[in-house]
Amino acid sequence: MKARRLAAILVALPLSAQVKMARHPGRIAVEIDGKPFTEFFFGPETPKPYLHPLRAASGTIVTRLYPMAKVEGEAYDHPHHRGLWFTHGDVNGFDFWANEPNPRRTNLGRVVLKQMLGVKEGRESGSISAQFEWRDPQGNALLVERRDMVFHAHPSLRVLDLDITLTAAVTVRFGDTKEGTFAIRLAPWLEEPHARAPASPPRTGRMVSSEGKQTEKEVWGSRAAWVDYFGEIRGEKLGVAIFDHPSNPRHPTYWHARGYGLFAANIFGLRDFLRDRTQDGSLTLAPGQWLRFRYRVVIHPGDPGTAGIAQLYAAYAGRS
Residues sharing a CB contact under 8 Å with residue 20, sequence separation 6 or more, in sequence order: 30, 31, 32, 121, 126
Q: Confidence band (pLDDT; 50, 70, 90) for 196?
A: confident
- Give me the mean pLDDT over the 62-76 stretch: 96
The pLDDT value given to residue 111 = 98
The pLDDT value given to residue 195 = 85
The pLDDT value given to residue 17 = 63
Establish whether the linkage from the previous residue to 63 is cis, with ω within 30° of 0: no
9 pLDDT exceeds 80?
A: no
Angle at 86 between CA 204 and CA 300, to 5 degrees: 35
Report the distance separating Cα 89 and Cα 78, nearest Å. Answer: 13
CA-CA distances (angstroms) from residue 110 to 42, 204, 227, 233? 11, 35, 28, 35
The pLDDT value given to residue 15 = 47
Residues sharing a CB contact under 8 Å with residue 247, sequence separation 6 or more, in sequence order: 292, 294
Q: What are the structural domain ranges in the chain?
A: 20-317
Residues sharing a CB contact under 8 Å with residue 15, sequence separation 6 or more, in sequence order: none
CATH class of 20-317: mainly beta
**Residue 310 Cα to chain centre, angstroms:** 19
- Give me the mean pLDDT over the 160-183 stretch: 98
Q: What is the pLDDT of residues 232-284, one digit of tens each?
A: 999 999 999 999 999 999 999 999 999 999 999 999 999 999 999 999 999 99
Q: Confidence band (pLDDT; 50, 70, 90) for 168?
A: very high
Neighbours of 193 (CB within 10 A): 12
